[in-house]
Amino acid sequence: MITSLKKNLYPHLLFFVTIAVALAVYISFLSFGHISWDDPEMVFKNKFVKTFNLYALSTNHFVGNYIPVTMFVHALSWFFFGSNDAGHHLLNVALHILNGVLVYQLGKKLFKTENVSITIMTIFLLHPLQVESVGWISELKNILSTSFYIAGLLYYIRYLNNSRVKIYIVTVLFFVLGCLSKSSVVVFPLSLICVDIYFKQNFSWKFIINKIPFFIFSLVFGLLNIKAQTEDQFINYAHAFPIHERIGYAGFALMRYFFMFVAPINLSVIYPYPQNHGAAFVIGYFTLTALAFILYQSVKRKKYNFLALILFTLINLLLVLQFVPFGEVLYADRYMYIPVIGFACIFSLLFYKLNPPARLSAFALLTLLAFASFSRSKVWRSGITLYEDILKSFPNSFVALNSIGVEYMLKDNNEKAFFYLNKSIQAAPYNYKGFYNRGLFYLKNQKAKLAVESFNQSLNIYEYSKAYVGRASAYHMLGEITKAMSDANSALAIEKNNAKAHFVLGNCYNDLNKLDEALDEYNLCIKFNTDEPDFYFKRGIVYGKKQEFNKCVSDINICLMLDPTYYEAYYWRGVARINLKQNACNDFKIASRNNYQPAVDAFKRYCK
């Protein structure tokens, strides 16, 4: 039996070793937290994810993406793991390993040999460029859509072999699921044409005919996501350069992707546009010229395998070359998640023509990539380690400076928060978010006049709804109720479902003793955001003023369930219980132990 087991397992030993090594490399993510970029909006503060609201997940877009299948999987993950970061990281790791297995199967279909397939899988699983997609919880969309993408490619290859309609329909189904997981999958029909070229060793316009249903779906999902990107303000008009400049930048980005694959050093989550534009354009156009020459020679010499693999790689980078500008970066590690497959195939095709010692080469590659990815993964431990890593390469990156300033502000490290927020403004004096976040810093530290000045500077650059809310809060702190209400209404004119704008209005009405109006505003706050303890606390206070003490206690119970350290709420629940002729001593005791003076006085009065 042992002999039989060895006979069956030994040929696949490297496959299992590669999977084990990948798990060992990525298992550290289970001890990492989530970061402030996209993770709260996508998962941890997303009320539709938390309540498993399938209708809302299917009809809304999130952080510029219409991705209902991904959001459904996020909701499933929340159902099983809740706010436990490890569970969400585990899902990304598991799907990445699954994708590695699918890539291995794809390699077997393309090259028919174990060594090449293992090499492709190893590169896909363990290349340092993949760490960003695996480590960033919000990039579940990248990993999940790739699962459907590769499964669709495998089924299409089966379809080429027997032309059964059932297999064609399954291919379409995988494609649609991929598009509903991430919009970049719309290039899938072009990838299928690459598969045709690879296996049929020619090019024919007939290849396009059976792709027509795919192209129709591509158009629909492409338009949906352009709409989502536009509405969520992810189209970056600051980078809407003339077309000849965009082409130059695209060539420069392709050159950078090539070198990042070959020599993955000095990687970063952010790669700003190059400051030396002239040099970038020269490099970009040279890259495109060289690429055109390689493609021409491949066609001329009928090297269709090579041609198909290059085209596959280019096609899967096409949408991220900033022809339609979005975001702040020219290129990114996560954009290489699928293109790494193409690069890995090209590398393997060329490398094994040299007839190297197969197993020795495979183990050497595995060791090298595993070490590189493990080292790279450490920067994802927290938001601060991530942003610090960016600043090592790009010390004047506004995005990193602004983000690390916010992180330190949330951690109550005022000195570092103020330092980085000011530095972010110096780095990008025309970016409204820098002034907005500094305004929040002043607001948090009870410096309302300085907060108003910062919010003014933000609003002078751009009519940002959150800046109106921030300034409204500052005016409310200063007792300027009319100005506070005006700013809150300005925010609602831009973003009608802004819960915090309604909260400011509720506070203003509360101060004016217009309790019914205040109650209406707090109800709207809670309708739009069910997870904010302040909203329930303030509504509870209004119920107390209206002598509706049972409702007051109920709201404060929810407040304390959301935030058990909200010690002021214990005091006011105690006050409500006194009015209901209930024992309030435990509430007063908890609040007084945490130095809330009114509770100390109340405990002495009612509990001695």
DSSP states along 112-181: --HHHHHHHHHHHHH-GGGHHHHH-GGGHHHHHHHHHHHHHHHHHHHHHHH--HHHHHHHHHHHHHHHTT
Alpha carbon of residue 412 to chain centroid: 25
Examine the pLDDT at 335 and tell me if it is beyond 60.
Answer: yes
Q: How confident is the model at residue 161 (pLDDT cuts 50, 70, 90)?
A: confident
Task: Give the pLDDT mean for 344-368.
Answer: 82
CA pair distance 470, 475, nearest whole angstrom: 9
Closest CA to 214 of 253, 181, 251, 169: 169
**Every domain of the chain and the residues it spans:** 10-381, 530-608
Residue carrying the six token digits 């999958």: 185
Q: What is the spatial distance between Cα 431 and Cα 328, in angstroms, rounded to a whole number?
A: 12
- Maximum distance among all alpha carbons in the chain? 96
pLDDT class of 327 with cuts at 50, 70, 90: low
Partners of 65 in beta bridges:
62
What is the CATH number assigned to the segment(s) 530-608?
Answer: 1.25.40.10
One DSSP character per residue, 582-601 reads ---HHHHHHHHHTT-HHHHH
The residue assigned the tokens 């405990």 is 603
| Cβ pair 474, 487 in contact under 8 A | no
Alpha-carbon dihedral of residues 23, 26, 32, 36, nearest 10 degrees?
Answer: -130
Collect all residues with Cβ–Cβ distance below 8 Å to 359 and sequence separation of at least 6. Answer: 14, 115
Of the candidates 555, 580, 576, which has an alpha carbon nearest to the alpha carbon of residue 588? Answer: 576
pLDDT of residue 181: 95
Pairwise CA distance, residues 590 & 571, whole Å: 8
Average pLDDT over the chain reads 90
Cα–Cα distance measured from residue 141 to residue 133, given in angstroms and rounded to the nearest whole number: 9
For residues 588 and 607, the answer to whether their CB atoms sit within 8 Å is: yes
Exposed, middle or buried by CB within 10 Å (0-12, 13-18, 19+), for 286? middle
Helices 432-444 & 465-477 angle (0-180, nearest 10): 30
Please give the Cα distance from 3 to 86 (Å, whole number): 40
pLDDT > 60? residue 59: yes
- Closest to 156 in 3D by CA, of 207, 91, 98: 207
SS3 state at 327: coil
Give the span between the Cα atoms of 369 and 367, in whole angstroms.
6
Per-residue model confidence as pLDDT tens digits over 380-418: 999 899 999 999 988 998 889 999 999 999 889 999 999
pLDDT over threshold 80, residue 8: no
Helix locations, 322-431, DSSP H = 339-351, 358-377, 383-393, 398-410, 414-427
Residue 326, beta-bridge partner list: 235
pLDDT for position 3: 56
Read off the pLDDT of residues 508-529 as tens digits, 9 standing for 90 and up.
999 999 999 999 999 999 998 8
pLDDT in tens, 572-592: 999 999 999 999 889 888 988
**Minimum mean pLDDT among 82-96, 219-233, 333-347, 569-583: which range?**
219-233
Q: Which amino acid is at 248?
A: G
Q: In which band, very low, low, confident or very high, does the pLDDT at 329 lie, cut at 50, 70 and 90? A: confident
Mean pLDDT calculated for residue range 542-555: 94
Residue 581 has φ and ψ, to the nearest 5°, of: 60, 40
Q: pLDDT tens, 287-324?
A: 999 999 999 999 889 899 999 999 999 999 998 887 67
pLDDT at 236: 54
Mean pLDDT confidence for 330-346: 93
Is residue 469 within 8 A of residue 500, CB to CB? The reply is yes
Q: How far apart are CA 408 and CA 427, in angstroms?
A: 18
Instruction: Give me the pLDDT at residue 261, please.
Output: 94
Q: What band does 2 get if pLDDT is binned at 50, 70 and 90? A: low
Q: Is the pLDDT of residue 5 over 50?
A: no
581: tokens are 């002729």
In angstroms, the CA 66 to CA 179 distance is 9
- Residue, of 225 and 444, whose pLDDT is higher: 444
Q: Is the pLDDT of residue 172 over 60?
A: yes
Does the pLDDT value for residue 218 go beyond 80?
A: yes
- Residue 598's CB is within 10 A of a number of other CB atoms, namely 15
Residue 390's alpha-carbon distances to 288, 399, 426, 598, in angstroms, are 28, 9, 17, 47
What does the block give as tokens for 229? 């990107």
Task: Indicate the pLDDT class of residue 38, thresholds 50, 70 and 90.
Answer: confident
pLDDT of residue 607: 84
Whether residue 69 has pLDDT greater than 50: yes
**Better-scored residue on pLDDT, 14 or 145:** 145
Q: Please check the confidence at residue 233 and state whether its pLDDT lies above 70.
A: no
Question: How many CB atoms are located within 10 Å of the residue 54 CB?
Answer: 13
Q: What pTM did the predictor assign?
A: 0.87
Average pLDDT, integer, range 191-216: 89
Q: State how far the Cα of 560 lies from the Cα of 388, in Å rounded to an integer.
A: 35
pLDDT value of residue 64: 80
**Dihedrals phi, psi of 355, to nearest 5 degrees:** 55, 55
Please tell me whether residue 62 adopts helix, strand or coil conformation. strand
Let me know the angle formed at the C-alpha of 132 by 348 and 335, rounded to the nearest 5 degrees: 65
